[in-house]
């Protein structure tokens, strides 16, 4: 694999994000709503010096995790769908470039944008330090798990974008996959507590692996879970790009 090719594609996509209003609007929505969540959680009747309000949201599910799941498909929908629509994929796939290099370049570009959005929220913990005495571990693991959820969401988003030339269809497809991943454990209620089904859906659900880390408990099994999901969806994306050649 050629790092240079990945870098070339990554840089092009970054510039493309910077030049289109899309990424800026998404960043504004994310920063606005997650900032509101944070503000509400630290000014409420029982203020706490944590970022849990920012991550999960004090009202409904509108915290950073859920916003990531809603907004990542909008961020990634263009990446491969537009190439198919414009036909530029024909030049990309006939250049001496591996399919995985294309996928990684685009993946890293979207992940870089998402990470920058997360980085811009780092003043929340700084405020906590300025006005209170927060626990450091949950801050670190909280941001780590947020980044991992973002990395999964972008991988799913890229897969959706590889499957179709229509950006809207791409966004809806990836949002559907992410919502299923997120809400999987709700189906556990259908079985009895020690059912095999309960175990499976509890293991697969995104939200099950978020909780511990968001509260400061670091578990390598959670890390492995997230990394496997990322690899799995990127692998599917590469396959989707490959089959694009047969269509």
Applying CB under 8 A, which residues contact another protein? Answer: 2, 4-5, 8-9, 12, 15-16, 19-20, 86-98, 245-246
Q: Which is nearer to another protein, 4 or 221 (CB)?
A: 4
By beta-carbon proximity to another protein, the closer residue of 178 and 241 is 241
- Smaller CB separation from another protein, 15 or 211: 15
Q: Which is nearer to another protein, 93 or 204 (CB)?
A: 93
Element (H, E) at 167: helix 167-183
Cα–Cα distances in angstroms (integers) from residue 3 to residues 12, 103, 130, in the given order: 14, 12, 42
Token reading at 34: 């997650």
Minimum separation from the CB atom of position 7 to another protein (A):
8
Q: Which is nearer to another protein, 96 or 193 (CB)?
A: 96
Question: Closest separation between CB of residue 246 and another protein, Å?
Answer: 7
Q: Minimal distance in Å, beta carbon 241 to another protein?
A: 12
Output the smallest distance, CB 238 to another protein, in A.
14
The answer to whether 69 touches 75, Cβ cutoff 8 Å, is no
Find all residues with CB under 8 Å of 22, minimum gap 6, and list them: 74, 75, 78
Supply the minimum distance, in Å, between the C-beta of residue 102 and another protein: 9
Q: Which residues of 42-64 are buried (b: 16+ CB within 10 A; e: fewer)?
A: beeeeeebbbbbbbbbbeeebbb
Specify the residue, 95 or 186, whose C-beta has the smaller distance to another protein: 95
What distance in Å separates the CA atoms of residue 172 and residue 18, rounded to the nearest whole number? 23
Q: Is the separation of the CB atoms in 51 and 38 below 8 Å?
A: yes
Closest approach, Cβ 133 to another protein, in A, equals: 48
The answer to whether 51 and 39 have CB atoms below 8 angstroms apart is no
What is the radius of gyration, based on Cα positions, of the chain?
Answer: 19
Using CA of residue 213, residue 215, residue 216, residue 221, what is the dihedral sign? negative
Shortest Cβ distance from residue 5 to another protein (Å)? Answer: 7
Please identify, using beta-carbon distances, which residue of 4 and 45 lies nearer to another protein.
Answer: 4
Question: What CA–CA distance (Å, rounded) separates 53 from 38?
Answer: 5
Residue carrying structure tokens 């991943």:
181
């Amino acid at each position: 694999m050629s790092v240079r090719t990945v870098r070339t594609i990554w840089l092009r996509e970054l510039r493309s994000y910077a030049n289109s209003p899309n990424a800026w609007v998404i960043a504004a929505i994310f920063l606005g709503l997650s900032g509101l969540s944070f503000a509400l959680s630290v000014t409420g009747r029982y203020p706490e010096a944590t970022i849990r309000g920012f991550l999960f949201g004090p009202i409904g599910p509108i915290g950073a995790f859920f916003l990531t799941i809603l907004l990542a498909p909008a961020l990634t929908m263009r990446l491969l769908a537009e190439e198919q629509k414009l036909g530029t994929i024909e030049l990309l796939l006939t250049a001496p470039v591996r399919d995985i290099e294309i996928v990684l370049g685009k993946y890293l570009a979207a992940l870089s944008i998402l990470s920058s959005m997360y980085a811009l929220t780092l003043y929340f913990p700084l405020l906590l330090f300025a006005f209170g005495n927060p626990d450091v571990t949950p801050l670190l693991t909280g941001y780590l798990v947020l980044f991992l959820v973002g990395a999964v969401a972008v991988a799913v988003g890229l897969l959706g974008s590889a499957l179709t030339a229509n950006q809207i269809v791409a966004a809806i497809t990836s949002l559907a996959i992410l919502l299923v991943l997120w809400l999987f454990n709700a189906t556990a209620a259908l079985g009895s507590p020690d059912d095999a089904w309960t175990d499976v859906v509890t293991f697969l659900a995104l939200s099950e692996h978020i909780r511990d880390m968001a509260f400061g408990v670091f578990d390598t099994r959670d890390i492995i879970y997230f990394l496997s999901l990322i690899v799995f969806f990127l692998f599917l994306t590469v396959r989707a790009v490959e089959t694009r050649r047969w269509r």
